Amino acid sequence: MLKPKSDVLQGTLALLILKTLARGEMHGYGITLHIQRVSSDVLRVEEGSLYPALHRMEQDGWISAEWGMSENNRRARYYRLTATGRKQLAEEEKNWARLTEAVASVLQFAR
């Protein structure tokens, strides 16, 4: 049994998805794999929150979706960043940087 190591922090999921999609279009399963692999298994995206998030982002116009064929010839829904999505990504990256900086300085100060 695999135990989830660390659930993706609430609110950062969107950022991670956007960033992943910035490399090119991808289906939902690919997104979970990518995040898990790139974070060396530290971050895991729960399927239960991935799809609601994807749909929300699609409704908000950050990403668009289309049916396509996967590497091994399977029908899959591919997600792609839209222009709005790109802007949103830049925005969220900035926020994230600010947050981590802030947390870091607090940690340093405490030391």
Query: What is the three-state SS of the chain?
Result: CCCCCCECCCCHHHHHHHHHHHCCCEEHHHHHHHHHHHCCCCCECCHHHHHHHHHHHHHCCCEEEEEEECCCCCEEEEEEECHHHHHHHHHHHHHHHHHHHHHHHHHHHHC
If the CB atoms of residues 53 and 81 are measured against other proteins, the closer one turns out to be 53
Q: How far is the CB of 90 from other proteins (least distance, A)?
A: 23
If the CB atoms of residues 19 and 27 are measured against other proteins, the closer one turns out to be 27
Binding residues for other proteins, rule: CB under 8 A, are 2, 27-29, 33, 46-49, 51-52, 55-56, 59, 70, 72, 74-77
Q: How far is the CB of 71 from other proteins (least distance, A)?
A: 10
Q: How far is the CB of 56 from other proteins (least distance, A)?
A: 6
If the CB atoms of residues 56 and 80 are measured against other proteins, the closer one turns out to be 56
If the CB atoms of residues 65 and 93 are measured against other proteins, the closer one turns out to be 65
